[in-house]
Amino acid sequence: MKSLPYFCRGEVIRGFGRGSKELGIPTANFPDSVVDHLPADISTGIYYGWACVGNGDVYKMVMSIGWNPYYKNTKKSMETHVIHTFKEDFYGEVLSVVMVGYIRPERSFDSLEALITAINSDIEEAKVKLALPEHLKLRDDNFFTSAPSSSSALPPTTASTSQTIMNGH
Ligand code: ADP
Ligand code: MG
């Protein structure tokens, strides 16, 4: 995928309460404005990369890009699980991410247990891949130090503007 690494940011919105948090794997959802700017060569599936909330620390993440059942599978969703235990939810805050690599395509699972096992193996793969020097350096990218601290600092067009700038560098 030539668009990787892919940088983007947006406000964390409420998802569909599919119980990700109850499984121990909460996923922060991006609004359509971010999803709609995804380059065409970014296919659905599971990605790994780096993420930060507001202007906080940068952590490893896994992201699922999938077809969104709420829109009868005509729109994509982007859901990020940050590999860190936060004290509080961060709905309404700005999540900045860089998608670094692809793990696997989307698939369905026969049981909840099989799903959780797959996600935990995705998390392990993300940890190993992100420890590689070429991926580690993205954690220190200026993109994260320039993160706006609140979503009100994000003009409506920021998603596309920052993507264009950041992905051209
Ligand atoms: P929703 O359906 O609203 O997305 P989830 O059960 O998936 O609900 O929980 C997602 C929310 O949990 C995020 O929007 C965020 O506020 C919070 N959260 C807490 N810890 C994390 C984390 N490590 N990664 C992602 N989101 C987290
Ligand atoms: Mg979620």
- Given a cut of 50, whether residue 143 has pLDDT beyond it is yes
pLDDT value at residue 169: 45
> How many degrees, rounded to 5, is the angle at CA 13 between CA 95 and CA 145?
10
90/101 Cα distance (integer angstroms): 25
Which numbered ligand comes closest to the C-alpha of 83?
A: 1
3-state secondary structure the chain: CCCCCEEEEEECECCCCCCCCCCCCCCEECCHHHHCCCCCCCCCEEEEEEEEECCCCEEEEEEEEEECHHHCCCCEEEEEEECCCCCCCCCCCEEEEEEEEEEECCCCCCCHHHHHHHHHHHHHHHHHHHCCHHHHHHHCCHHHHCCCCCHHHCCCCHHHHHHHHHHCC
Q: Which residues surround ligand 2, an ion (CB under 5 A)?
A: 15, 20, 27
- Given a cut of 80, whether residue 154 has pLDDT beyond it is no
Q: Residue 82: which of 3, 29, 43 has the closest Cα? A: 29
Q: Which amino acid is at 95?
A: L
Residue of 11, 79, 106, 125 with catalytic role: 79
- Given a cut of 70, whether residue 125 has pLDDT beyond it is yes
Q: What's the predicted TM-score (pTM) here?
A: 0.90
**Ligand 1 pocket, residues with Cβ under 6 angstroms:** 12, 14-18, 20-21, 26-29, 81-82, 84, 86, 89-91
pLDDT in tens, 4-40: 999 999 999 998 877 688 788 999 999 999 999 999 9
Select from 63, 90, 91 the residue to mutate for testing ligand 1; criterion: most ligand atoms less than 8 Å from CB: 90
pLDDT in tens, 53-90: 999 999 999 999 998 776 778 889 999 999 999 999 99
Indicate if 134 belongs to the active site: no
- At residue 167 the predicted structure's pLDDT band, cuts being 50, 70 and 90, is low
